[in-house]
Amino acid sequence: MIKSDMISASGISKSFAKQRVLVDVSFSVASGECIQLLGDNGSGKTTLLRALATLISIDEGSLFIGGHDSQTDKTYIRGKIGFLGHQPLVYSNLTVSENLKFSSSLFQVLNYSKKVPEVLGRVGLSDFKDKRAGMLSHGLMKRVSIARILLQEPEILLLDEPETGLDNQGVSVLQELVKANKSRGGSTIMTTHNPEKARSIADRILILAGGKITPNL
């Protein structure tokens, strides 16, 4: 069976203050595929993920997510993407449960009153459900972000060095998230500095250097 491309990038470039960060980047990601994105600091990994998440616009080229143009269909695309960046996307003045209830309304999650406790249990945050997110450690806040993605069940995961700040339990939850997404036919792009860990989970590896995709030797 031929798998369709969930992500298709052709010749995309991005500059900040006249400095080119992404240069003529082209690649595709198929349904059910897990891609590990490798590269040194400053290679453009985070910029690429933020462009894929429609958090920034590209300057040149074309970028389609699930068959939709990232420049014109941002709202639709954001509903299909689970993004985990360096900073957890949580509201510090809300409790853990309130954060997840807000996310449930945003992504129109059905039966959220049942699903929120289930997800809290899966990420090991049941005892923290009434605690304000701003009072949590960075690692626990990241677990809240993982819980938000579990609720959403997106088709595409974009994970920027997701293991940073997580303890062993958090890493296990993250790995389960990636495996579950793959089993549903979803696609994943993860960044990491660890080539060995990348090869253990990835279907394919992409290497960014100086904003360009380089041959994977």
What are the backbone dihedrals phi and psi of residue 31, each rounded to the nearest 5 degrees, phi first? -60, 135
What is the reported pLDDT for 2? 41
> Looking at the domain assignment, is residue 85 inside a domain?
no
Domain shared by 16 and 112, yes or no: no
> Looking at the domain assignment, is residue 86 inside a domain?
no
Q: Is the dihedral of CA 177, 179, 181, 186 positive or negative?
A: positive
Tell me the pTM: 0.90
What is the reported pLDDT for 198? 61
What is the reported pLDDT for 28? 95
Domain shared by 4 and 50, yes or no: yes
Q: How many Å apart are CA 123 and CA 138, to the nearest integer?
A: 14
Give residue 149's domain range.
91-153
Weakly modelled stretches of the chain, pLDDT under 50: 1-2
What is the reported pLDDT for 109? 86
Domain shared by 70 and 118, yes or no: no
What is the reported pLDDT for 1? 35
Which domain-ending residue is among 153, 172, 206? 153
Domain shared by 103 and 71, yes or no: no
What is the reported pLDDT for 175? 87
The number of folded domains in the chain is 2
Domain shared by 136 and 97, yes or no: yes
Domain shared by 27 and 132, yes or no: no
Which domain-ending residue is among 133, 153, 173? 153
What is the reported pLDDT for 193? 67
Domain shared by 4 and 74, yes or no: yes
* Number of C-beta neighbours around residue 1 at 10 A: 4
Domain shared by 104 and 148, yes or no: yes
